[in-house]
């Protein structure tokens, strides 16, 4: 059963007062605000989970009425007349009204973004995977269809650019360990190669070896999760080669002196408040830089 549209009681009166000092037709402006805001609110609610709707409605009304209240204190000399018009006071009140409007707009944008993130996080993994693949498939097929039209002489774009677009997208998936997406992408290309007059991507292209590359990334991640961290001391500083975090971490006994901090920054180390240490990505160069830096202290 479809729910009844949400209305905003009191909005017409608030909007009427908000425009009484700035419009010759406050009743029309008020009616317009009621229509626009109630439509906007109901459109927002379509994508909001049931258990979050009440809170969203209350906050929407709170910020909206705060804006309308600020707007009701604003006046125009066109309405009140120019005689003894308090210009500076109105400038201040107009600024206050503008701030309330911005607060309302920014709150709504952040609230909707936060709700969308929670919805995405709560989706079953199968649904996330399916939605991601549909997006990938759409992008690949757009380039594939363009390549076929180029081969038929129907388009005058540069073929190699679209081939690169496809192969680079699949390389990115492989680097991220998206084995299933890589397999599906190559199956999709194989399908189109079979029905096109000319192969979209030839068998010589290195893209066909990317399944193994993606699998290697997964294996490396598994190895990282099972590998043991290395811990040692240099010049009284505790050093951890944190395999899981992919970081080399330096734990000082207290805050280093400014000269040491400057050296750390020059060697690409950054302070991590959450870990309470100086760290950088774990590479062979990072290990060498750590030993060289700490040995000189």
User: Helix H segments across 46-86?
Assistant: 50-71, 77-80
Instruction: State residue 270 phi and psi, 5-degree precision.
Output: -130, 145
User: Which of 297, 272, 268, 265 has the alpha carbon at shortest distance from 285?
Assistant: 268
**pTM of model > 0.75:** no
Instruction: State residue 4 phi and psi, 5-degree precision.
Output: -70, 145
Q: Structure tokens of 234?
A: 């240099």
Q: Is 219 helix (H, G, I), strand (E, B) or coil?
A: helix
pLDDT averaged over consecutive 10-residue blocks of the chain (297 residues)?
84 97 94 98 96 97 98 86 80 94 98 95 92 98 98 96 98 95 98 97 96 90 82 96 93 95 96 97 93 91
Domain of 261, in residue numbers:
228-295
How many other C-beta atoms can be found within 10 angstroms of the C-beta atom of residue 18? 25
Calpha distance 252→280 (Å, rounded): 15
Q: Is residue 75 part of a domain?
A: yes
Do 118 and 143 fall within a single domain?
Answer: no
Last residue of a domain, one of 70, 92, 122: 122
Q: Is residue 3 part of a domain?
A: no
Output the pLDDT for position 196. Answer: 97
Do 27 and 105 fall within a single domain?
Answer: yes
- What's 227's DSSP letter? S
Do 218 and 134 fall within a single domain?
Answer: yes
């Amino acid at each position: 059963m479809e729910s009844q549209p949400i209305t905003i009681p009191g909005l017409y009166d608030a909007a009427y007062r908000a425009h009484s000092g700035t419009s010759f037709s406050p009743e029309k402006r008020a009616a317009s605000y009621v229509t626009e805001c109630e439509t906007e609110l109901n459109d927002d609610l379509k994508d909001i989970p049931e258990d979050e709707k009440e809170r969203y409605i209350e906050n929407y009304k709170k910020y909206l009425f705060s804006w309308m209240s600020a707007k009701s204190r604003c006046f125009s000399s066109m309405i009140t007349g120019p005689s003894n018009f308090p210009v500076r006071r109105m400038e201040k009140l107009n600024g206050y009204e503008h701030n309330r409007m911005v607060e309302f707009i920014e709150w709504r944008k952040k609230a909707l973004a936060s709700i969308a993130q929670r919805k995405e996080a709560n989706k079953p993994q199968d649904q996330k995977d399916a939605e991601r693949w549909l997006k990938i498939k759409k992008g690949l097929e757009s380039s594939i269809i363009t390549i076929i039209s180029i081969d038929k002489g129907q388009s005058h774009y540069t073929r190699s650019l679209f081939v690169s677009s496809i192969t680079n997208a699949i390389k990115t998936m492989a680097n991220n360990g998206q084995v299933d997406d890589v397999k599906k992408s190559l199956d999709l290309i194989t399908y189109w190669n079979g029905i096109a007059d000319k192969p979209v991507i030839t068998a010589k292209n290195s893209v066909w070896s990317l399944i193994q590359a993606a699998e290697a990334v997964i294996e490396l991640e598994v190895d990282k999760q099972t590998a043991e961290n290395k811990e040692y001391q240099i010049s009284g500083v505790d050093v951890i080669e944190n395999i899981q975090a992919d970081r080399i971490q330096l734990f000082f006994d207290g805050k280093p002196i400014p000269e040491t901090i400057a050296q750390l920054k020059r060697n690409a180390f950054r302070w991590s408040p959450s870990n309470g240490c100086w760290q950088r990505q774990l590479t062979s160069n990072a290990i060498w830089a750590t030993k060289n830096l700490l040995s000189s202290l």
